[in-house]
A = this chain, B = another copy of it.
């Protein structure tokens, strides 16, 4: 995949190869046989033969892919191949492959297993990002910089504060991921119309054992057309990426040539332009921002797919497949880039300080106004400061200098107190 090292995380992506995807489906089939044997639905010996044959080497992946179009999913040709393989060893066991299950049981459970593995990787990357930001925050609790609203200089903040707000969103994202790992990764087992009828009296027990084997949560009812949990996973990732992209947006703005306050770490060959030596392209930011541009609409697709018909949906389920994978993979990629981005951020304190002087002190006008209001009332103070700002601008003088000669200032503020208003 051309952009696998830019929009994606190679490690997370490996979980989504055709081979890996089929592997998750085989996990289901082998666990199902075990669970059924445990509750006496099929002979243990048959289950063992099935178990032993649920290995990717037994599957001709290209053949499988060529047959997906006929039945409309990847499970039908997989079961066909698996059954043939098992049959060569034992005819009876072949009869128990995928016994009583429906394609959606396999595909949904495989998807959940796959998503879980990927999200655990994402979780680790998120932890790294948070840790790296926490160190950054600690180092810059006193680093003054300008706060900006609507991209206009507003009033001073510290860079540590800015980083704290980044961490704040990520911390909640982390809690959301922990919660969905508890709640949303459930096994799917229902059979043709979802009611476990093909499993007879042992349906619930088999489902329970299947969940245990696969280390998933059990779901009392099958969720063939009740997609809220899988959509919740998608939306939690969407929100996470929103918080990540806010950081990338800030840094890409701070990296502007004219601002130059924070930079992605420079690395040999990274982000440079051979013909424009001064450029430091925000490459990691770009990858994150690009993914953040795409994920919200993929989440919308997941939400819109919830309007499913009857016991198995006509297209809405199928639209989920690649969409859900893409959300996870793009999230994985964004986190991977975020780890790089927040590792070795270069903070240019000099430029932060220099930029704060860009308005010749006007960013401190509110401080003066607030301090003065205690003496002469808010409106009076406001009018006084406003008038003096205009005049300072007209004369091209720094506000501090201009105000320091005004009587009203001298009357109410000592030099020390006055100076503090400009910090």
Interface of chain A, helix or strand or loop or mixed? Answer: helix
B366 and A276 contact, CB distance less than 8 A = yes
**Given A239-B228, A282-B150: A1 in contact with B253 (beta carbons within 8 A):** no
Q: How far is the CA of A100 from the CA of B378 in the complex (A)?
A: 11
Tell me the nearest residue of chain B to A238, going by C-beta. B303
Q: How far is the CA of A294 from the CA of B317 in the complex (A)?
A: 11
- Say how far A143's CB is from chain B's closest CB, in angstroms: 13
Of B151, B193, B250, the contact of A155 (CB 8 Å cutoff): B193
Question: Is A47 positioned at the interface, with any CB of B under 8 Å from its CB?
Answer: no
Give the total of A residues in contact with B, Cβ under 8 Å: 158
A194 and B147 contact, CB distance less than 8 A = yes
**Given A6-B69, A153-B258, A283-B71: A243 in contact with B306 (beta carbons within 8 A):** yes
Chain B residues within 8 Å of A229, by CB:
172
B282 and A314 contact, CB distance less than 8 A = yes
Question: Is A385 positioned at the interface, with any CB of B under 8 Å from its CB?
Answer: yes
In the complex, which residues 233-286 of chain A have their Cβ closer than 8 Å to any Cβ of chain B?
235, 238-239, 241-243, 245-246, 248-250, 252-253, 255-259, 267, 269-283, 285-286
Chain B residues within 8 Å of A198, by CB:
366, 370
| Stretch in contact with the other chain, from A27-35, A160-168, A202-210, A342-350 | A160-168
Listed from nearest, the 5 A-B pairs whose CB atoms lie closest are A242-B306, A95-B378, A289-B315, A147-B193, A149-B312
